[in-house]
Amino acid sequence: MLASSMALVGVLAIHFWLSPAGQKIMIKRGGEVFLTASLVRPFVVAVPGPLGVTQVEVSNHRARVMSDPSPRQLCVHQGWISHEGEAAICLPNQVSVEIIGAVRRYDSLNY
């Protein structure tokens, strides 16, 4: 019991902390791919949506939503994302930013 629950802690840690760093960023707008780019070179891109412009920044192999017109700013507060499968979703402005790796892992969004 103690050992198996400790194993659960380890599995969670590996799953959430040691998952491979992603290599590419995919920005979607209204469900369609707006931009797919490498995380290697830093850049800032403005994505126009129904509410206004969402600014996405890539720097140091990480990505974040720099600014967004949504009222609750959930995707902005999420901060930097860098691991494969992580995503920042600005639902009101219909913009999503997702980190993808060389091989897409299976999850509930991608199967």
Partner 1 sequence: MTVLTIKPTAEDHRIAYMAALAIVLMLMEAALPSPIPGVKPGLANIVTLLVLQQYGLRAAAWVTGLRVVAGSILLGSFLTPGFILSLSGALASLAVLAIARYLPQRYFGMVSLSGLAAFAHIAAQLGAVSVWLMPGVNVFYLSPVFALAAWVFGLSNGLIAAYLVESESNASSAA
Question: Is 16 or 36 the residue whose CB approaches partner 1 more closely?
Answer: 16
Distance from C-alpha of 73 to C-alpha of 99, rounded to nearest angstrom: 19
Residue 36's Cβ-side half-sphere holds a number of Cα atoms within 13 Å equal to: 8
75 part of the interface to partner 1, by CB under 8 A? yes
Is 78 among the residues that bind partner 1 (CB under 8 A)? yes
> At its nearest, how many Å lie between partner 1 and the CB of residue 43?
24
Paired tokens of 58: 């890539």
Nearer to partner 1, 58 or 99 (CB): 99
Residues 6+ apart with CB under 8 A from 32: none
Task: Give the β-pairing of 62-67 and 53-59.
Answer: antiparallel
Which residues in 7-26 contact partner 1 (CB under 8 A)? 8-9, 12-13, 16-17
Interface contacts to partner 1, rule CB under 8 A = 1-2, 5-6, 8-9, 12-13, 16-17, 74-75, 77-78, 86, 88-89, 91
